[in-house]
Amino acid sequence: MIQIKDLYKSFGGNQVLKGVNLEVPRGSTSVIIGGSGSGKSVLMKHMLGLLKPDSGQVIVDGEDVTGFGERKMVQVRGKFGMVFQQSALFDSMNVGENVAFPLREHRKELKDPEIKKIVAEKLAIVDLTGIEHLMPSELSGGMRKRVGLARAVVLDPKILLYDEPTTGLDPISTNAVDEMIMSAQERLGITSVVISHDIASSFRVATHVAMLFEGVLVDQGSPDELRKSKHPYVNEFLSTWFDR
């Protein structure tokens, strides 16, 4: 679904990505892990076309988008849904209005009854039926994440991006978010890319794991393959979470 080929990116004298190669299989949940400053967020921004590489290619759903202008990239971004780190709900809007926001922006032909029906369907997918009237301040952290997911899938994207989805959550809420990610992939058959430093969560939801270290993907594979990695940094990074 997404191919990254020999991707380089620098900011001033700071080289952040140093020849990254990554394949995100269609229908998979691929997790990109690594420490702070390893280049995870910069890599995600390249997938969305928010950054242009110094060299290399970004291929999304068979299209090389590296040289696309903004107008064509807007069309490509329509294939993506984004679940933000802190959910990024509008505090002045209720749940129904938050989930409906992308529809009102991008599907202006839809009438109110159609919008309400779609919103209800997406909230049902994340097991939050009938809460359209609630305000974000009335929701738990885990519920806010699920409302964020409902909004992210309201336009039926092909790819879901999660930016540090479990940051700041207690263990129970973290488990709920993990279940949410796995359920969305199973119910929607969607391709998911998760940026995370939460190793336990990552290995719970992932079908494919890639580790970034100093701008290079040092190892990737299934969770079991990563646990058996011979790379010294991967061993050190994972040893704080798993008995190796």
CATH number reported for the structural domain that contains residue 202 in this entry: 3.40.50.300
Q: What is the pLDDT of residue 181?
A: 85
Assigned domain for 222 exists: yes
Assigned domain for 103 exists: no
Domain that holds residue 222: 1-79+193-244
Stated pTM of the model = 0.86
Assigned domain for 74 exists: yes
Q: Of 184, 181, 200, 161, whose CA–CA distance to 81 is shortest?
A: 161
Q: Are β-strands 159-163 and 80-83 bridged in parallel, bridged antiparallel, or unpaired?
A: parallel
Assigned domain for 26 exists: yes
Assigned domain for 179 exists: no
Q: How many CB atoms lie within 10 A of CB 209?
A: 28
Number of domains in the chain: 1
Q: What is the pLDDT of residue 243?
A: 53
Contacts of 115 (CB under 8 A, 6+ apart): 100, 103, 104, 107
Q: What is the pLDDT of residue 236?
A: 81
Assigned domain for 31 exists: yes
The list of the chain residues with pLDDT below 70 reads: 240-244
